Amino acid sequence: MAGADCSVGLNGVVLGVARLKFMSAGALLGPLALVIALSLVGAGCAETQEAPSRPRSSDAAEHSSREAITGVAAHLRALQEIANRHDGTRAAGTPGDRASADYIAERLSRAGYDVTRQRIRFPYYRILQAPKIQRTSGALPGGRRSIRPLQFTRGGSVEGPVRRAGRGCTDAETAGLRRGDVALVRRGECTFLEKGRRAQTAGAAALLVAGHPGDPLIDATLGRPGPAIPVLFLAHDTAKVLTTGERLRISLRTRSEMRASENVLADAPAATSRRIAMLGAHLDSAPAGAGLNDNGSGVAAALDIAERLAAEDNPPRVRFGFWAAEELGLIGSRRYVERLGRSERRAVTSYLNLDMVGSPHPRPTVYASDSKPAAARLERLLLRHLRKEGISARVGSASKGSDHLPFARAGIPVAGLFTGAGRPADPCYHRRCDTLSNVNVGMTRAMADTARRALVGIARD
């Protein structure tokens, strides 16, 4: 795709013209690069496909040359290179995730922000090889369709005799278990985690939990990594044919462990106002790929906004949040809001979320929490500035799952920008093909400009 080639072509060109207040401009500028940057503009290195058909804004020249080192395209390229260096992913708890947080923190502190890195620990789970259960005395009724590993179970390859242990919730129920047994218990009474712990303590090599009669095969969970033995859910009809003492061979491979990631927070130094307008974007990708639209586009836009506001003489009091582990359940943003004290929470006047703002076939959407004046104002500001960008957007609901939800639940007015996930907007959603060439850089830039203006508008209220 021409657009993408164009941006890739920029590789190796380093320079910008914008003079950032917090940064020592000298470190950035060089006449040669300025000439190169301007000649590129002349060559019409325009945005990628389906970019908004808006006339290029008056600061287009400054935009493009500045893009060479800062700005949306440069940040997207940097995130792609990070993924390239780290097995093609920036998923939470991976080296690519850590490198993304390092990049963001480095850019923000270089721009002069007070940067805080908030450590987040979370349970990490991945199935590496599907489970197999073999009977020494014939096939397992239902085969693989009758077994399901519990989320966060350990893997393993074990063989042992079946022994029933009631529901596996009391010492009396597990007293009959022997070392190396495959414990078989019924659902109910206590948590799967407790059943797993008790079976392990009693010496079992694996635990099978039988469903109730008529139960579908459920996605059960231990809640977090725990017992060091494999724990699997078994359909009721399959469990009932197993006989005490018959030997089973069980194998599956998983990665189940506690991992760490970081929220990266940035405050403008010495900003006096006690009222803080926040803007945020999650920094992790889905495990399958580099996550350049989801959510490299939001990160690139938020970084661009932060660097541009740093250049202002009297920057508004804003805080930027780059959230960890959003793809695993809004973990970073939830922890951030939970850790806010009452007065800190009250000081946050609004939260603006950027998640997927560069979809290749964009469906621009503005969403805001209902009935909050500040949220309604943000929504109006976003729609107005999008119109100025020549972009018509629809108004969507704020109920959809992204990092604005923990803020909304805490009573903080929220709004956000979104350009669509899945077909037709982004067929590469959560897939390996969500790379740099999947991002609509022009739309991302327009969304960044829109969000910046709305943020300044709400912060100056």
Enumerate the active-site residues: 326
294 lies in the binding site for Zn ion (CB under 5 A):
yes
Least spacing, CB of residue 51 vs Zn ion, in Å: 21
355 lies in the binding site for Zn ion (CB under 5 A):
yes
426 lies in the binding site for Zn ion (CB under 5 A):
no
Least spacing, CB of residue 293 vs Zn ion, in Å: 9
Contact map string, positions 107 to 146, toward Zn ion, x by CB under 5 A: ----------------------------------------
Contact map string, positions 7 to 26, toward Zn ion, x by CB under 5 A: --------------------
Indicate the residue among 153 and 419 with the shorter CB distance to Zn ion: 419
Q: Considering only 97-105, 137-145, 227-235, 288-296, which stretch makes contact with Zn ion by CB under 5 A?
A: 288-296
Q: Which residues pair with 163 in a beta bridge?
A: 183
Main-chain dihedrals φ then ψ at residue 300, nearest 5 degrees:
-60, -40
97 lies in the binding site for Zn ion (CB under 5 A):
no
CA distance 330 to 401: 8
Indicate the residue among 182 and 354 with the shorter CB distance to Zn ion: 354
Least spacing, CB of residue 282 vs Zn ion, in Å: 6
262 lies in the binding site for Zn ion (CB under 5 A):
no
Q: Are strands 247-267 and 206-210 parallel, antiparallel or unpaired?
A: unpaired
Least spacing, CB of residue 260 vs Zn ion, in Å: 20
- Number of chain positions touching Zn ion (CB under 5 A): 3
CA distance 218 to 292: 33
CA distance 76 to 337: 27
CA distance 454 to 461: 11
Could you say which DSSP state residue 461 is in?
-
CB contact at 8 A, 146 and 211: no
**How many Cα neighbours within 13 Å face the side chain of 362?**
33
Nearest to 206 by CA among 155, 254, 143: 155
Indicate the residue among 355 and 449 with the shorter CB distance to Zn ion: 355
Return the amino acid letter for 393.
Answer: A
Indicate the residue among 353 and 437 with the shorter CB distance to Zn ion: 353
Least spacing, CB of residue 403 vs Zn ion, in Å: 8
Return the amino acid letter for 7.
Answer: S
Chain centroid to CA 51: 25
The count of residues in the chain is: 461
100, 153, 295, 437: which one binds Zn ion (CB under 5 A): 295
Q: Which residues pair with 234 in a beta bridge?
A: 147, 210
Indicate the residue among 132 and 400 with the shorter CB distance to Zn ion: 400
Which residues of the chain form contacts with Zn ion (CB under 5 A)? 294-295, 355
